Chains A and B, each alone.
Chain A
């Protein structure tokens, strides 16, 4: 180890040097030539830490676009008579001006709703959340130099980027982006002549999401291989920190469910381009009967929701893993029920594959078959409740630090409970038949997988920001961000439950002609105002994020939170390869907080004589 000098005041580095595993890292001439130039370092980087930041910043870009879209359609819903001429410079012909009053065009309203869903579900909460933190934490928390294949990892990001470019381009088409809903059900998605967005907009949507599937698969293959093959010495599966378990199961879900969506996409492409009728049967357009017979649109729904349901766990599991870690670190307590936490992640992952038809209770699925899907859906409440119980019990009696990361983690638990409970309503087919396609559903999934997943993401960003950028984000702005978002998010989605129970259907452009729903105007105004406030707070967060990269408080010690996991043993500005010198060897699980009178004991600390390991 001739080239590495260890500062002896740095006890962690000295400990790694004394007990670590020598992989002769610095005796090889590694690929640092890829790191030498700006392009190799920041653009076509193969360092998982840079790729994580690329995913995060691209995710933030898309989150701003997706959220801004929701503000535009909320303006239509809350203030249908307002003059929107002021957005005309941005939206152009989609703002129709009549008698000096500009209003949102109806086609574009549907396009906005569709794009908001697609962007948030896939680009932000899949790539931006699991892409960012799987990349950052899997090698760091497992004690690996990088992913199993850094090259595939780089490709994974660039396929995502390409998917984004195609989708972004589709926003500027003269016929507008796809407008048939984020689920892209045929026939709207299968027939180019079905609506304005069904032509080129839908073609680009399909191309973009196919590229996205490739990105997810390349990433997932890498995550699984790394977790199973590249754990450092002593890091048994049962000593892995909970985020890694969550990312691991998330990757398996993605790997098994996205190809099924791809199959559906291929069939859709053939229906669109080659004249087959996989999903089409007896369609009339403009009074003309098409000669496309024999297919079934419900077949597409099966293929879509076979991905679609695991997809919601692909979104929420990483958030759960992040929250478990952050709660434990900042409550200064071991996570309660580690084994139960792991088993519940596995149970949720398994169950996610056998509940997809609960999205299709209204599609003419046999009611007898529905019963099975109802039962399995309700069983998911069991592992979910185990997790909630364990989070609350971890907090109980903890020496809690109420910093931004911790606040968002606690907020996550609150959101997950609120949104999870309405899931029990909707999982019952008898209730779902009434609630289907109403704002009750919108409220449910936004709280449980939208807001909750965002809270997990925010917790992760605030917590690992120093690891990513060597600086801290501003705490005061962070707390303003939390409290505003927490109250604001409930203000947006809580009233939607009432709208839903009153039968107000989702995705409608206007309720002016419905006597039954007219009197909800003030409530819709309230929701829109709350949404604007929450959006402004997210802009504040983004400003804080970018300002802190350059001007935030510097990280002076390697382990500012007194956390046990391996990522806090790397140098503050770790290069490609993460550790100078040896790789740390793990001697205990990640949750030895408050044990034997010590506040925390890092995973690299050997067991003392006579000490019983905190894990099994």
Chain B
């Protein structure tokens, strides 16, 4: 994508790379989307006729998994910067496995909810639950896809630490940490908002 660097010389004056900046701006719109859903949740639950239920234990496990994944991804990034190739590659692979496991555990969580009578259609609170966690899972899958690209880079390109590759990897990491914190917010919201 050579054209993408058309502004490169100007960007050197900035403390933060414009692409990373653009990514952060996109977080604002994702926050607005989930903000809208959780606000609608609050408004609708205040209107009464609201089914209350316990969150499945799987969601606690998945929270642990996603936190761990952020940690391994961070280790992978700092190993990349410090040119520790083996650590970089193995931690990246581990992060990918953890990312996939998060989605799988969420799926078991949904099944457990369903088994306990919280289904998609029966109550609005259930519908909200599946919509919010489902949309979040889609954002996680986008992050996993980004990790796949990072893995392809890691194993197909010769191991050289360049600014460009650092930036690309940093974009993946920041996105992943963001969807991680987004889950912590959503999990806390679904657990504590009554």
Contacts and interface: CB of A to CB of B under 8 A. Distances in A.
Interface of A: 23-25, 28-31, 33-34, 46, 144-146, 148-152, 217, 220-222, 224-226, 228-230, 232, 255-260, 262-264, 266-267, 270, 274-278, 294-296, 299, 302-303, 306, 576-577, 583
A302 to B, nearest CB: 7
Interface string B1-40: 1111111111100101011011001101110111111001
Given A145-B6, A276-B121, A277-B124, A230 B28 contact: no
Contact of A144 (B2, B7, B43, B121): B7
B123 interface: yes
B10 A144 contact: yes
Nearest to B128: A278
Contact of A260 (B8, B33, B47, B120): B33
Given A149-B22, A299-B44, A259 B36 contact: yes
27 contacts: A23-B9, A23-B10, A46-B4, A146-B7, A148-B19, A148-B22, A150-B4, A229-B21, A230-B7, A255-B25, A255-B28, A255-B29, A258-B29, A260-B32, A260-B33, A260-B36, A263-B33, A263-B34, A263-B37, A266-B135, A267-B131, A270-B131, A274-B120, A276-B127, A294-B49, A294-B123, A299-B43
Contacts of B37: 263
Contacts of A296: 44, 47
B11 A229 contact: yes
A580 to B, nearest CB: 14
B142 to A, nearest CB: 13
A253 B103 CA distance: 33
Contacts of B16: 229
A-side interface mostly: helix
Contacts of B25: 220-221, 224-225, 255
A152 B22 CA distance: 10
A151 B1 contact: yes
Interface of B: 1-11, 14, 16, 18-19, 21-22, 25-26, 28-30, 32-37, 40, 43-44, 47, 49, 120-121, 123-124, 127-128, 131, 135
Nearest to A251: B25
Nearest to B30: A259
Contacts of A270: 120, 127, 131
B22 to A, nearest CB: 4
A151 B3 contact: yes
A230 B18 contact: yes
Contacts of A259: 29-30, 32-33, 36
In the A-B complex, the 3 residue pairs with the closest CB atoms: A31-B3, A23-B9, A259-B33
A230 B10 CA distance: 7
Nearest to B1: A151
B11 to A, nearest CB: 7
Given A151-B1, A267-B131, A274-B120, A229 B14 contact: yes
B29 A278 contact: no
Contact of A29 (B2, B19, B35): B2
B21 A225 contact: yes
B32 A256 contact: yes
Nearest to A216: B29
Contacts of B11: 229-230
A295 B19 contact: no
Q: Dominant SS at the B interface?
A: helix
Most central of B36, B49, B120 by chain A CB within 10 Å: B36
Contacts of A229: 11, 14, 16, 18, 21
Contacts of A302: 40, 43
A598 B21 CA distance: 41
Given A276-B120, A276-B127, A278-B124, A221 B26 contact: yes
B42 to A, nearest CB: 11
Given A224-B25, A255-B25, A296-B44, A148 B127 contact: no
Given A46-B4, A255-B32, 20 more contacts: A28-B5, A30-B2, A30-B3, A31-B1, A144-B10, A146-B3, A146-B6, A148-B7, A148-B19, A148-B22, A217-B26, A217-B29, A229-B14, A230-B18, A260-B36, A276-B121, A276-B131, A277-B127, A296-B44, A576-B3
Given A221-B25, A275-B121, A276-B120, A148 B18 contact: yes
A576 B40 contact: no
Given A225-B18, A275-B120, A276-B121, A303 B36 contact: yes
A30 B19 CA distance: 18
B2 to A, nearest CB: 4
Nearest to B37: A263
Contacts of A217: 26, 29
A225 B22 contact: yes
A274 B1 CA distance: 40
Contacts of A267: 40, 131
A266 B131 contact: yes
B22 A221 contact: yes
Contacts of A264: 36
Contacts of B14: 229
A151 B10 contact: no
B32 A257 contact: yes
A240 to B, nearest CB: 16
Contacts of A232: 10
Contacts of B29: 217, 220-221, 255-256, 258-259
A130 B7 CA distance: 22
A303 B40 contact: yes
B121 A306 contact: no
A217 B128 CA distance: 24
B18 A25 contact: no
A263 B134 CA distance: 12
Contacts of A295: 124
Contacts of A145: 6-7, 10
Contact of B127 (A256, A258, A278, A306): A278
Given A267-B131, A270-B131, A256 B9 contact: no
Nearest to B9: A23
A577 B32 contact: no
Contact of B40 (A222, A262, A274, A299): A299
Contacts of B40: 263, 267, 278, 299, 302-303
A34 B3 contact: yes
B118 to A, nearest CB: 13
Contacts of B22: 148-149, 152, 221-222, 224-225
Contacts of B32: 255-257, 259-260
A527 B145 CA distance: 55
Contact of B9 (A24, A152, A306): A24
B10 A149 contact: no
Contacts of B28: 255-256
Nearest to B34: A263
B37 to A, nearest CB: 5
B193 to A, nearest CB: 17
A67 to B, nearest CB: 32
A140 B123 CA distance: 53
Nearest to B23: A221
Nearest to A267: B131
Nearest to B49: A294
